[in-house]
């Protein structure tokens, strides 16, 4: 969907709302139409090719945490068993934790808005 097609999509959504929700008040219809338009915009954004920032930041946190808590101890244990102990450096947890908690907090706020309908 292109930017120029947003008006057409809004008209289509309004027609669908009027058809399937004829007994709702106008305010409820407008709120439903706004939610449907947001869903359409989110779908259009998600369908765009490329690497999105949220996705990249989330995966980097997962990789770094996995490296610190799974890969690092495993490598050090195997190297120690083989008789060649190594010192595998640990990543700084303060920066990783801050970024991970920020991403989780934003996701939680977004979910709360969707559940409560405060958007």
Q: What is the pLDDT of residues 25-72, one digit of tens each?
A: 777 777 787 788 777 777 776 676 766 556 677 778 888 888 998 999
Q: Strand locations in 1-119, DSSP E?
A: none
Cβ count within 10 A of residue 58: 16
Contact 1, 44 (CB under 8 A): yes
pLDDT in tens, 76-115: 999 999 999 888 888 888 888 888 888 778 777 777 777 7
Same domain for 60 and 103, yes or no, is: yes
Same domain for 23 and 61, yes or no, is: no
Contact 61, 100 (CB under 8 A): yes
- Answer whether 0.75 is exceeded by the pTM: no
Same domain for 77 and 113, yes or no, is: yes
Same domain for 106 and 61, yes or no, is: yes
Structural domain range at position 117: 51-119
Please give the Cα distance from 119 to 116 (Å, whole number): 8
Domain count, the chain: 2
């Amino acid at each position: 969907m292109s930017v120029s097609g947003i008006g057409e999509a809004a008209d289509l959504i309004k027609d669908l709302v009027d058809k399937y929700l004829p007994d709702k008040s106008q305010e409820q219809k407008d709120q439903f139409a706004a939610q449907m338009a947001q869903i359409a915009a989110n779908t259009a954004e998600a369908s765009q090719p490329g690497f999105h920032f949220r996705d990249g930041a989330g995966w980097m946190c997962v990789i770094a945490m996995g490296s610190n808590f799974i890969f690092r101890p495993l490598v050090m244990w195997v190297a120690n068993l083989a008789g060649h102990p190594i010192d595998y450096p640990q990543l700084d947890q303060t920066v990783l934790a801050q970024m991970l908690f920020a991403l989780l907090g934003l996701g939680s706020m977004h979910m709360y808005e969707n559940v409560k309908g405060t958007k």
